[in-house]
């Protein structure tokens, strides 16, 4: 009986060592880091997503109002606070955005340039502006504050102001690349940027969904919200004088016989011969803010885009709480995995670190495993040596 005890102890100790090694191994693996996962492709969107279906998507309750007649090729109504899409028509249809793409331009460049920065415009910055572009009157050799240029972008949709701001932000191509990266980060996967000012360019497209994402994100930036909600301003001219400019968003100003919309807070309109009339509009009423996108109405004249946006806003405020959402403006954003180690890191570290149970500093995983193995080996050797002595005594 005495001679058998060391053998059993040795086996038990070996099992304990193996269990100890195995118990530490998952901790070290869990503490390892992974590269930032890419933005999910369109195929990753659940098949049940209503917004990827063709036609009009709405899920009304019995008491919900009926949708208005809208002739636009694509449109969307969403709650700006929650991101819930209340209704949409061909939300992900890729269409030319015209100057509504300036919302993405502002989201990308606004945070990088102080408003009080002064800049003298060069000849190079004024070159390559597309023929027929909307202009605010930026003059070569004249010095402007960045805030003046932004008013030229938002109110007059000035492509000349966009060119100067893009030059200050690294250049035309660099700005386009940054805008593309910003769109992907926001989950706006339908947008392809070719010209930061929204000028008709082959391959440049966006969607009602993406433009609503940009408009909603812009309203969270105080400078963006202030500029897009400004109806009138003064723009500096030569010789120390200035002239008045007026926002071309007629739902905001009430110009040309279009009735201003009560509670409107922006955002941006656009027009090109290829894109037709486009509009991103946001309004606030009774504690709720809605954002609406309308792209290329097929009926009426040039102001139909405003009237269709008006109908959709009216419907959205009345339907809020009476429809089930058909999607979310946050649906395609990257979300980190839940848990204490959810924050993604750009690159894995060479040596993973095991987190101590009390939340304090950990040991290198390799040291934990090696230490446990050596401890077990020492215990086995000691017991075998003791067995030899007991056998000799017997």
The strand ranges marked E within the chain are 56-60, 74-79, 84-89, 118-120, 143-145, 232-236, 242-246, 264-272, 276-285, 288-295, 323-324, 327-328
Q: State the catalytic residue, choosing from 74, 102, 169, 195.
A: 102
Nearest-Å Rg of the Cα atoms of the chain is 31
Q: Residue 279's domain spans which residues?
A: 68-328
> Is 99 annotated as catalytic?
yes
Quick one: average pLDDT of 272-276? 96
Are 88 and 70 in contact by the 8 Å Cβ rule? The answer is no
Q: State the catalytic residue, choosing from 74, 134, 157, 206.
A: 157
Predicted local distance difference test score (pLDDT) of residue 166 = 98
> Is 207 annotated as catalytic?
no
Greater confidence, 345 or 332? 332
pLDDT in tens, 104-150: 999 999 999 999 999 999 999 998 999 999 999 999 999 999 999 99
Does 370 lie in the same domain as 296?
no
Above pLDDT 90, what percent of the chain? 70
Chain centre to alpha carbon of residue 42: 15
Residue 8 lies in a domain: yes
Q: What span, in angstroms and rounded, lies between the C-alpha atoms of 252 and 283? A: 10
What are the two backbone dihedrals, phi and then psi, of residue 205, each rounded to the nearest 5 degrees?
-145, 165
- Supply the CATH number for residue 185's domain: 3.40.710.10
Greater confidence, 26 or 294? 294
Q: What span, in angstroms and rounded, lies between the C-alpha atoms of 246 and 340? A: 50
Instruction: Answer with the one of 304, 328, 352 that is the final residue of a domain.
Output: 328
Predicted local distance difference test score (pLDDT) of residue 140 = 94
Number of domains the chain is built from: 2
Does 363 lie in the same domain as 263?
no
Quick one: average pLDDT of 238-245? 91
Q: Which two tokens stand for residue 250?
A: 């007629």
Does 321 lie in the same domain as 375?
no
**What is the chain's mean pLDDT, rounded?**
81
Does 355 lie in the same domain as 322?
no
Task: State yes or no: pLDDT of 220 exceeds 70.
Answer: yes
List residues bridging with 279 in a β-sheet.
269, 294
pLDDT in tens, 223-237: 999 999 999 999 999
Does 268 lie in the same domain as 153?
yes
Does 17 lie in the same domain as 73?
no
Task: State yes or no: pLDDT of 386 exceeds 80.
Answer: no
Q: What span, in angstroms and rounded, lies between the C-alpha atoms of 38 and 318? A: 39
Listed residue (73, 63, 77) closest to 311, CA to CA: 77
Instruction: Answer with the one of 328, 363, 378 that is the final residue of a domain.
Output: 328
Task: State yes or no: pLDDT of 375 exceeds 70.
Answer: no
Q: Which two tokens stand for residue 143?
A: 């010095």
Chain centre to alpha carbon of residue 103: 12
pLDDT in tens, 39-98: 344 434 334 479 999 999 999 999 999 999 999 999 999 999 999 999 999 999 999 999
Judged by average pLDDT, the poorest of 56-60, 262-266, 282-286, 370-374 is 370-374
> Is 195 annotated as catalytic?
no
Residue 301 lies in a domain: yes
Q: Which two tokens stand for residue 318?
A: 């009345």
pLDDT in tens, 146-195: 999 999 999 999 999 999 999 999 999 999 999 999 999 999 999 999 99
Predicted local distance difference test score (pLDDT) of residue 350 = 30
Does 270 lie in the same domain as 200?
yes
Residue 48 lies in a domain: no
Q: What span, in angstroms and rounded, lies between the C-alpha atoms of 335 and 243? A: 47
Q: State the catalytic residue, choosing from 74, 99, 134, 147.
A: 99
Residue 58 lies in a domain: no
Does 22 lie in the same domain as 78?
no
Q: What span, in angstroms and rounded, lies between the C-alpha atoms of 250 and 258? A: 6
List residues bridging with 145 in a β-sheet.
118
| Helical (H) or strand (E) element with 265 | strand 264-272
Does 155 lie in the same domain as 33?
no
Listed residue (67, 78, 14, 3) closest to 328, CA to CA: 78
Residue 135 lies in a domain: yes
Does 164 lie in the same domain as 298?
yes
Rounded to two decimals, the pTM is 0.74
Residue 136 lies in a domain: yes
Residue 355 has a CB neighbour count (10 Å cut-off) of 16
Instruction: Answer with the one of 298, 328, 358 that is the final residue of a domain.
Output: 328
User: 284 by DSSP, 3-state: which?
Assistant: strand
Task: State yes or no: pLDDT of 321 exceeds 80.
Answer: yes
Does 389 lie in the same domain as 255?
no
Residue 333 lies in a domain: no
Task: State yes or no: pLDDT of 261 exceeds 70.
Answer: yes
Task: State yes or no: pLDDT of 2 exceeds 80.
Answer: no
Which residue in this structure is represented by tokens 């723009």?
A: 235
Residue 352 lies in a domain: yes
β-pairing, 118-120 vs 288-295, is unpaired
Are 209 and 119 in contact by the 8 Å Cβ rule? The answer is no
Does 218 lie in the same domain as 96?
yes
Are 169 and 182 in contact by the 8 Å Cβ rule? The answer is no
Task: State yes or no: pLDDT of 20 exceeds 90.
Answer: no
């Amino acid at each position: 009986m005495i001679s058998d005890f060391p053998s059993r102890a040795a086996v038990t100790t070996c099992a304990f060592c193996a269990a100890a090694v195995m118990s530490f191994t998952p901790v070290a693996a869990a503490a390892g880091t992974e590269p930032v996962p890419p933005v999910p492709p369109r195929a990753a969107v659940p098949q049940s997503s209503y917004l990827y279906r063709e036609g009009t998507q709405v899920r009304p309750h019995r008491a919900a109002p009926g949708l208005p007649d809208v002739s636009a090729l694509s449109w969307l109504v969403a709650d700006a606070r929650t991101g819930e899409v209340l209704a949409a028509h061909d939300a992900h249809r890729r269409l030319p955005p015209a100057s509504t793409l300036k919302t993405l331009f502002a989201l990308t460049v606004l945070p990088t340039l102080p408003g009080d920065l002064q800049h003298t415009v060069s000849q190079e910055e004024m070159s390559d502006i597309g023929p027929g572009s909307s202009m605010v009157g930026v003059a070569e050799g004249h010095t402007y504050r960045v805030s003046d240029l932004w008013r030229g972008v938002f109110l007059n949709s000035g492509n000349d102001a966009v060119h100067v701001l893009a030059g200050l932000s690294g250049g035309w191509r660099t700005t386009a690349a940054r805008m593309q990266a910003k769109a992907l980060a926001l989950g706006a996967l339908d947008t392809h940027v070719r010209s930061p000012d929204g000028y008709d360019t082959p391959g440049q497209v966006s969607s009602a969904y993406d433009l609503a994402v940009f408009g909603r994100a812009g309203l969270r930036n105080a400078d963006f919200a202030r500029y897009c909600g400004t109806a009138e301003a003064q723009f500096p001219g030569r010789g120390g004088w200035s002239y008045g400019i007026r926002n071309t968003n007629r739902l905001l100003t009430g110009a040309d016989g279009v009735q201003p919309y009560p509670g409107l807070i922006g955002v941006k309109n656009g027009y090109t011969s290829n894109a037709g009339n486009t509009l991103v509009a946001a309004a606030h009423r009774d504690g709720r803010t809605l954002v609406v996108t309308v792209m290329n109405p097929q009926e009426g004249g040039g102001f139909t885009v405003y009237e269709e946006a008006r109908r959709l806003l009216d419907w959205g405020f009345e339907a809020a709480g009476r429809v089930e959402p058909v999607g979310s403006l946050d649906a395609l954003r990257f979300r980190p995995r839940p848990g204490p180690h959810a924050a993604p890191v750009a690159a894995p570290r060479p040596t993973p670190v095991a987190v101590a149970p009390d939340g304090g500093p950990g040991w290198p995983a390799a040291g934990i495993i090696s230490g446990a193995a050596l401890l077990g080996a020492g215990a086995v050797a000691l017991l075998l040596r003791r067995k030899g002595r007991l056998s000799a005594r017997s």
